[in-house]
């Protein structure tokens, strides 16, 4: 029975200068990679460096809440404010408190993304 239930992380611990901060997953809008580092974007718009790769985060977070849209992003379903049809049968996502306007769902993940949204 224990093997059937998967325990996903409920929070991530990040370093903020000399301080350590714990961020609950419900307050995370987006995980993204930039220049070989991985970051968390919280619901206030602040970004924090995290010691996991996007591949690791993908397995540590609840797939009902988070979706890997491309090589660069994992988004929280509750942080999606708009979905725009984009050229080449792709979607462009608007994420709450994100300044990044190029959050795209890759073509290979489009059908899976649609199913995820409907769950």
What tokens does 77 get?
């379903």
Q: Is residue 46 part of a domain?
A: yes
Rounded CA-CA distance 22/71 in Å is: 25
Q: Is residue 35 part of a domain?
A: yes
CA 69 from centre of chain: 8
Give the number of domains in the chain.
Answer: 1
Q: Is residue 53 part of a domain?
A: yes
Q: What is the CATH number of the domain that holds 73?
A: 2.40.50.1020
Q: Is residue 4 part of a domain?
A: no
Query: Which residue segment(s) compose the domain that 17 sits in?
Result: 11-118
In this predicted model, what pLDDT tens digit does every residue of 25-78 receive, in sequence order?
999 999 999 999 999 999 999 999 999 999 999 999 999 999 999 999 999 999
pTM comes to 0.90
Which is higher by pLDDT, 100 or 52?
52
Whole-angstrom Cα Rg for the chain: 14
Q: Who's near 99: CB < 8 A, 6+ residues apart?
A: 45
Q: Is residue 1 part of a domain?
A: no
In this predicted model, what pLDDT tens digit does every residue of 1-27 receive, in sequence order?
455 567 899 999 999 999 999 999 999
Q: Is residue 6 part of a domain?
A: no
What tokens does 69 get?
């849209």
Q: Is the pLDDT of residue 95 over 80?
A: yes
């Amino acid at each position: 029975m224990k093997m059937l239930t998967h325990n996903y992380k409920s929070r991530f611990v990040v370093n903020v200068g000399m301080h350590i901060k714990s961020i609950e997953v419900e307050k995370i809008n987006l995980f993204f990679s930039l220049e070989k580092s991985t970051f968390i974007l919280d619901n206030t718009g602040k970004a924090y460096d995290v010691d996991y790769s996007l591949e690791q985060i993908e397995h540590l977070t609840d797939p009902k809440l988070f979706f890997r849209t491309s090589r660069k992003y994992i988004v929280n379903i509750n942080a999606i404010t708009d979905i725009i049809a984009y050229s080449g049968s792709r979607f462009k996502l608007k994420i709450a408190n994100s300044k990044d306007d190029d959050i795209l769902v890759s073509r290979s993940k489009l059908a899976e993304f649609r199913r995820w949204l409907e769950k």
